[in-house]
Structure 1
Amino acid sequence: MKNTLLIFQFFVLVLLNACTNNETDSIQHMNKIHLQSKDHHSYAKPNEARIKHLRLNMEVSFDEKVLKSTATYQIEKSPSAKEIIFDTKDLEIKAVYVNDSIEIKSYSLKGKDEILGQALHIPLDTTTKTIKIEYETSPNAEALQWLNEKQTASGKPFLFTQSQAILCRSWIPIQDSPSIKFTYEAQVKVPEGFLALMSAENPQAIDTTGVYSFNMPYKIPAYLMALSVGDLDFHKYDSICGVYAEPPTMEKAKNELEDLDKMVAAASKLYGKYKWGRFDVLMLPPSFPFGGMENPMLTFATPTILAGDKSLTSLIAHELAHSWSGNLVTNATWDDFWLNEGFTVYFEYRIMEAIYGKEYANMLALISKRELEQEVKEMMADGKEEDTKLKLNLKGRNPDEGLTSIAYDKGYFFLKRLEELAGREHFDQFLANYFDENAFQTMTTEGFITYTQQYLFAKNNIEEPDNLFDDWVYGVGLPDDMPQIESGLFKNVESTLEKWLVQKDNDLLPDSAWSTHEWLHFLHEMPDSIGVDEMRLLDAKKNFTTSGNSEIKTEWMLLGIKHNYKPIYPELERFLINTGRRKFLMPLYQTLLESENINKDYILRIYEQARSNYHYVSYNSIDNLLGYQPQK
C-alpha cells in the first residue's frame, strides 16, 4: 500500500511540475504543495489568491519602538477568488487600498489566536491587481527586538528582526507560510547615523540621509524577511563576501570569519552554483536568540561564535548551507522542518570536511549524535514520542516546538544513511540535482520520499531497504541502522581523561593543542563521581570559568551547577544576563531548576534581570520552563 501511494504521489508531482511551466495559468498550479499538505500555521488560502511581489515603505522609530509602514502587494488570483487573506499579529491597520488608490472599508480582522494572530480578509474583484496596506507595528511586536544603548557594543540603539518561524506577521501583514514565495523591494528611513540592512541587496556604508533602498530579486518565503538597524561598519573579503558588525566588535569578527570565501567555494563545488549573489554576515548583539539565521544575502549571527580561533565557525557553514537547503528548496510547512535543517546539517559537515578535513567533520557529527541521543531519551521519558518523528504534527502548537535536535540531527543521520546506501558519488549527484531541479520551490516530506525513490534508488539500481522511510521518517526514536562514526581525536581525549581521573595530574592536559570540540568531549565525558576538588584542579589549569568560548563555558557551567562548584555562580549570572542565545539558556535554566542546591528564588532573580535582554523566541520558551508570569 505504501509503495502504491508513493508512486501515485510521484506522478501527481510530475504532472503538477509540468503545469507550472505555463505561467499564464500559474495561479492554478503555483501552490502544488498545498494540494498535498495544508499549512495549519497560516490563514492564507494561496490556491485562491497569493502575494507575488511586495513593496515596502517603512520608517523606523526608536523613540516609539514601532515601524510605520505602507506595504503594497502585487497579487495573483484565481478567477473565482473573492478575497485575499493575510496573517497579522498585533498590527494596527490604518487603511487598505486596492489598485494603489481606491480605499476600501470592507476589510476585516477575524479571530484572535494566541499563536496565529488574526486573519486580515480583503475583498477582491476581477479588476484587483494590487493591495496596499498602511499599518503600524506594536512596541511589543514579537519579531522585533529594540536594544537600548546599554545593550550594544557601540553604545547606540539597535533593532533586529527574527521572522522564523511565524513571526513575520508581527511586523508585516503577510501570507506567513513557507510555501508562499515572493520577491520584494523596500525603502527604509532610519535616524541619522544608522545603517539599515535587509535580507536583500544591501548598502555597505552609512548614508547621511538615513534613507536606504533594497531589492530582493529572488523569491523567498516570509520567514526570511529580515531587517536590522544600528551603528555598523562593513569589512569586505572578496567580490561576494563581507561582514557587518558594530565598530567595537569588527576587528574580532573580521578575523574570525576570514574563511567565508573558502566556505562558499567549497559549498558551490559540492552542490552547484551559489545562486544568491552575495553572502554577507551581520554580527548581532548578544541578545540574538539563535546561533544564526539564514536570511538570504545577509546571514544574522550571534557573537557567541567569536571564540578567537575559528573553532565555532561551523555555524556560519550551517547558515551558508541554508542557501541551498531551506532558502532554495524550502520545507512546505513547519511539519516538514527537517527538510530544511537535516539537509543543512549534512551539508554543513561536508563543507567543514572539505575545508578542515574528515576528522574535524566526524567530531561535529559525534557531538550531534550525543546530543540527539540525550534529547530523544528525554522526549521519550516525557511522553513526547510523536515529536521524535522527522515528519511532525504541529497543528495547534507553536512551530518553535519543532526546533529540536530531531529535525537537525536525526535528519542529518537519515541523510548520512542514504549516503551509505547509495555511495557518496551517487548521493552527491542526487543532492546537486535535487537542489537544481527544485530551486526556489517548496517540498513536502512525501514529495522528497517519492523523489528519492525515483532519482536515488531506481535511477541508480539501488535496492531500497524494507521499512527505510517508515523507520526513519515516521518512526519514533532512533532506528537500529544509525550510521556509525568514529573519531581518533575523541578516542585520544577519552584516554587522556581516563589517565587524568586516576593521576589528577594537570601536566597530562594539553596547553593549546586541543580544539573546542575535543574540550567539549572531555568535559561531557566527565563522570558523575567527580567533585569540587577535581573541578577546582581543572579550572586552575584551563580557566574554564572565565573562558571566552561560549560553548566550553556553557558545558563547564552545566558541570558546575551539577556539582555545586561555587566559583561559577558570579560568571553564570553574568552570562545569563548578557547572552540571549536559546541554545545555551535553556539547558542552563533547566539544570538550575533540577539542582537540589539552588533555590528557585535565586533563578527567578537572575531571570527578572535578564529577561529584557532576551528576544521573544528565547523568553517565551524560558517563561514556560520556569512557569514565569510577567507583570502586565
Structure 2
Amino acid sequence: MKLVIILLLCHMLYCVDVDKNTFSNYKDVKTQHLHIEWLLNLNDKVVDGSVEYTLKVFANQLSEVHLDIYKMNILFIYYPSNGQVLKYHVESDPIQKDEQGDKLVIELGQVYKYGEIVKFRIKYQIGEDARALSFMDPSQTDDKKAPYLFSQCEANNCRSMIPLQDTPSIKFTYSATVITQSPLINVFMSGNRLQTQKFELMGNYEMNSIANIFQFELNIKIPAYLIAIVAGTVEERSTGARTAVISESKNIQKYKDELEDLDQYVQYLEDYIGEYKWGSYKIVILPASFPFGGMENPLLTFANPTIIVGDKSGVSVAVHEIAHSWFGNTITCNNWSNMWINEGFCVFLERKGLKTLFKDINLVHVNSQVGNNEMNALIKEFNSSQDDFVKSYASLHPKTENHNADDSFSTIPYERGFQLLYYLEKQINETRFQQLLKAWLQEYEYKSADESDFYRFMILWLKVQLSAEEFTTVKKSIDNVYTKWVYDYGQPPIQETFENPASKDVLQLVNAWIEGKGTKPQNYQIFDGFKSNQKQLFLSSLTEKSKDITEAIMVSLEDAYHLSDLRDAELLFRWYALSINTKYAKDTTNLQKIKAFVGVVGRMKMVNPIYKALNKETATQWYQENYAFYHPLTRQSIESIIKSKTIIE
C-alpha cells in the first residue's frame, strides 16, 4: 500500500499521464486516421503536402483543434465536405520555437460535442527546415543517380513533416499517396504498399516527364513518430517468406547476404513472446548519415550501414528493431519521460532472442556488461551537471518539459530499463515472468502506457497467480526498489555485474595490459579470437580505466591489434574516443583517421563520443566541414556538445 501511495504521488507530481512535449489538445480530441498526400520535388528539396484528418471529440464541447508544427508553411485549412475555409493562427514561444516548434490553433467555426467526428484538410509545404527529413543530393548517395530522402520522426520530429498531434499518447491509422517527379525514384513507407502507377507530368513540368504515384496504408494504430518514408533509387530483395532488405543497388547484395537470416530472427522472438502481427518485416539500409543504428518503423525498419560488418556481428541491431514490433510499436510509452517502456522492454526481449542466436547465454551477458559499463559512465556524467534536467537523464523518468525530448535520449532507458526487468524476472522466476509479459502485451495491445501502468498490472497479475505467502514475499522485493529504480538519479538500487566465463578472459586481458604498462601480455593474441561484443567489452573496460592508460600502453595496443584500421565501426569509435581522451591521437596521422571516420559515419552513438573528446576548436572545425553530410538530428546533437564546451571553457 505504501508504494502504491508513493506511485500515485509521483504520478501527480510528474503528471506522467500528460505529455508535456506536445502543444496539442489531445485530451479533448484524438486523431483516428490521417490521409497524407505528398508531391516530392527532391531536386529543389521541397515537399508539397496535404493531410485529411479524422478526429474524435472527447470533450463536452470542442471549438478548436490544436496541432504541433515545426518551421512549416501552412497554406490553408478547410472542410472537405463543403469547402469551407477555416481560420487558424500560430502561437509561438520564443524559447520553444527552435526546441519544440509551435502550436497551430484551428478554429472549427462550430461547436462539436462528445463522440462526434471532425474532418478537415490542411494544405502545407515543407523543405530543408523539416528536421525529420534528410534531403540528399545524388553525390551524397551510393548510386549517384538521383536525389534521396529519408525521415526520422522519433521523438517529436514528425511535427516538422506533418501538422499533427505529435505525442506517443495518441495512436491512429494512416494512408498515403506519394507522387515523385522522377521515374528513377522508388518510395517505401511504414505501411503496406498497395500499388504503383506511372503517369505523365503536365503543366509547368518538362515535356514527356514520367513520374510515379505510390499508395500506402497501415490499418494498425501507431503513434506519430512511427510514420516514415524513404525515397530514392532503392530496391527490395527478399530474404525469406516474410522478410526483405531494401537499399540502393550498389550494395544491396552485400546487405542481403549479411541479413539473410531475418526470418529466423523474427521466429526467435515469436517463440518467446508470441505472434508477429504486422505482416511483413523489411529493413532499409540507409545512407551512412542516418543518425541511429536502427529505427523501428513498422514494416520498414531503418538501419545504418555500420551494422553491416561482414561477419554478422552487427545483426543484434536488427534483432533489437524486430523486438520493437512487440515493445514500442504494440505497447508504446505515453510520453518521452517513459521511454524505457519502449526501450528497456525491447532490450530485454532482444536478449532473449540473442540467447537463441548466440546459443550461449554468456555471450548475451557480455552485451549486458558493455551496456552496463556505458550506462554507469553516463550516470556519472549526468550527475556531474549543474542542470537539474540533465541530472534527471540518469533516471528512467527524465524531465523533458520545455526541452526537446531528444536531449534526454541515451543508453539509460535501454540498459537501466533492461536491468529493472532482469531483476524482476529473478524475483518472479523466468517462466512466470515470460507469462507476465505475454499478459501485459495482451492487456495493453496497441495502447500507450507508463511505469505506473506496468506496476499496477504486474502487482494485480501476481496477486492472482501466486499464493498469498509467495505474493507477499515477491511484492516486498519489488516494492523495495521499483520507485528508486525509476526515479532516482544515482546507480540502480541493485548492482548487477553480469560476470560470466565469456567475459573473464576479456577483463583479465584488460588488467594485464594496464599492469604491463606498455609491455604486451603473454597471452595478448587471444584478443583476435574474441567475438565482436567481447572486443567491445575490452575497449569499454579500457575506457572505464582510461586514467590508468598511458601513451606507452596505447602505442603497444595499436601495434598488437591495429585497432585504428578495424572494419567494425562499433570498435573503431570506442578506440578513437579513447585515443583522444588519452592524448594518444595527437599527431596528424592518428587525427586524420578519426577525422575521416566522422566524415563518413553520421550515427550519433559513434560520432558523439568523439566530438565530446575533441577540444572545442577541433570539434567546431570538423563539424563545419561535415555539416552537409550530417542529418539534422546529428547536427543538433553535435551543436549541443560544442555549446557545452563553450560553457565549460
Same fold by TM-score greater than 0.5: yes
Range moving further from structure 2, 251-260 or 225-234: 251-260
Report what 2:51 is aligned to.
71
Shift in alpha-carbon separation, 1:36–1:568, aligned structure 2, 3 A = closer
For residues 69-117 of structure 1, the C-alpha deviation after alignment (integer angstroms, 9 at most, x for no partner) is 1101112114511122211111111111114442324222222432232
Report what 1:596 is aligned to.
none
Range moving further from structure 2, 413-422 or 84-93: 84-93
For residues 516-569 of structure 1, the C-alpha deviation after alignment (integer angstroms, 9 at most, x for no partner) is 112222233345444444434433443321221101111111222123233321
Give the alignment partner of residue 35 of structure 2, picking from 55, 59, 73. Answer: 55
Structure-2 separation of matches of 1:469 and 1:507: 43
SS at match of 2:215: strand
Q: CA deviation at 1:506?
A: 8.0
> Given residue 495 of structure 2, which amino acid in structure 1 is its aligned partner?
M
> Given residue 601 of structure 1, which amino acid in structure 2 is its aligned partner?
E
Q: CA deviation at 1:128?
A: 6.1
Give the alignment partner of residue 621 of structure 1, picking from 637, 640, 643. Answer: 637
> Given residue 183 of structure 1, which amino acid in structure 2 is its aligned partner?
T
CA contact (8 A) 1:241 1:261 kept: yes
CA contact (8 A) 1:282 1:301 kept: yes
Q: What are the within-5 Å matches in structure 2 for residues 359-370 of structure 1?
A: 359-370=362-373
Report what 1:187 is aligned to.
177
> Given residue 88 of structure 2, which amino acid in structure 1 is its aligned partner?
Y
Structure-1 separation of matches of 2:130 and 2:556: 47
CA contact (8 A) 1:292 1:300 kept: yes
Count of matched residue pairs: 600
Structure-2 separation of matches of 1:265 and 1:90: 42
Structure-2 separation of matches of 1:469 and 1:457: 17
Report what 2:613 is aligned to.
591
Structure-1 separation of matches of 2:120 and 2:174: 14
2:250 counterpart of 1:253? no
Report what 2:284 is aligned to.
282
SS at match of 2:584: coil
SS at match of 1:102: coil
2:87 counterpart of 1:106? yes
Give the alignment partner of residue 375 of structure 2, picking from 347, 372, 376. Answer: 372
For residues 358-400 of structure 1, the C-alpha deviation after alignment (integer angstroms, 9 at most, x for no partner) is 1121110010111111111111222444332212221111111
Structure-2 separation of matches of 1:497 and 1:628: 32
2:23 counterpart of 1:46? no
CA contact (8 A) 1:188 1:212 kept: yes
Q: What are the within-5 Å matches in structure 2 for residues 476-487 of structure 1?
A: 476-487=489-500
CA contact (8 A) 2:169 2:223 kept: yes
Q: CA deviation at 1:296?
A: 0.5
Give the alignment partner of residue 263 of structure 1, picking from 265, 278, 297. Answer: 265
Shift in alpha-carbon separation, 1:498–1:477, aligned structure 2, 3 A = closer
Give the alignment partner of residue 520 of structure 1, picking from 536, 554, 558. Answer: 536
Give the alignment partner of residue 563 of structure 1, picking from 580, 583, 596. Answer: 583
Report what 1:491 is aligned to.
504
Report what 1:419 is aligned to.
425
Q: What are the within-5 Å matches in structure 2 for residues 315-354 of structure 1?
A: 315-354=317-356
Task: Compute the RMSD of aligned alpha carbons.
Answer: 2.5
CA contact (8 A) 2:7 2:452 kept: no
Structure-2 separation of matches of 1:422 and 1:214: 43
Structure-2 separation of matches of 1:2 and 1:229: 53
Report what 1:580 is aligned to.
602
Fraction of identical pairs, as percent: 28
Report what 1:154 is aligned to.
143
Structure-2 separation of matches of 1:521 and 1:270: 27
Report what 1:610 is aligned to.
626
> Given residue 337 of structure 2, which amino acid in structure 1 is its aligned partner?
D
SS at match of 2:61: coil
> Given residue 454 of structure 2, which amino acid in structure 1 is its aligned partner?
F
Q: CA deviation at 1:476?
A: 2.4
Q: CA deviation at 1:178?
A: 0.3
Structure 1's unaligned 5+ residue stretches are 13-33, 594-599
> Given residue 486 of structure 2, which amino acid in structure 1 is its aligned partner?
V
Report what 1:429 is aligned to.
435
After the TM superposition, which segments of 4 or more aligned residues of structure 1 sit over 6 Å from their partners?
Answer: 6-9, 203-208
SS at match of 1:136: strand
For residues 151-172 of structure 1, the C-alpha deviation after alignment (integer angstroms, 9 at most, x for no partner) is 2111132111111111101110
Q: CA deviation at 1:495?
A: 3.0
Q: CA deviation at 1:616?
A: 1.6
> Given residue 547 of structure 1, which amino acid in structure 2 is its aligned partner?
L
SS at match of 1:439: coil
SS at match of 2:593: helix
CA contact (8 A) 1:98 1:129 kept: no
Shift in alpha-carbon separation, 1:121–1:603, aligned structure 2, 3 A = closer
Q: CA deviation at 1:424?
A: 0.5
Structure-1 separation of matches of 2:393 and 2:513: 39
Give the alignment partner of residue 65 of structure 2, picking from 84, 93, 96. Answer: 84
Range moving further from structure 2, 179-188 or 138-147: 138-147
Structure-2 separation of matches of 1:100 and 1:513: 68
CA contact (8 A) 1:193 1:206 kept: no
Structure-2 separation of matches of 1:355 and 1:606: 39
Instruction: Compute the TM-score of the two structures, normalised by the length of structure 1.
Output: 0.90
For residues 306-345 of structure 1, the C-alpha deviation after alignment (integer angstroms, 9 at most, x for no partner) is 1111112111111111111111000011111111111111
Instruction: Compute the TM-score of the two structures, normalised by the length of structure 2.
Output: 0.87
Structure-1 separation of matches of 2:644 and 2:416: 31
Structure 2's unaligned 5+ residue stretches are 199-209
Range moving further from structure 2, 401-410 or 519-528: 519-528
Q: CA deviation at 1:61?
A: 0.8
Structure-2 separation of matches of 1:433 and 1:144: 37
Q: CA deviation at 1:227?
A: 0.8
> Given residue 169 of structure 1, which amino acid in structure 2 is its aligned partner?
R
Q: CA deviation at 1:468?
A: 2.1
Give the alignment partner of residue 570 of structure 2, picking from 546, 551, 566. Answer: 551
2:481 counterpart of 1:468? yes
Shift in alpha-carbon separation, 1:7–1:334, aligned structure 2, 3 A = closer
2:231 counterpart of 1:229? yes
Shift in alpha-carbon separation, 1:556–1:36, aligned structure 2, 3 A = closer
CA contact (8 A) 2:41 2:47 kept: yes
Shift in alpha-carbon separation, 1:586–1:4, aligned structure 2, 3 A = closer
Structure-2 separation of matches of 1:374 and 1:8: 31
Structure-2 separation of matches of 1:378 and 1:128: 49
For residues 118-146 of structure 1, the C-alpha deviation after alignment (integer angstroms, 9 at most, x for no partner) is 22222333486411111111332111111
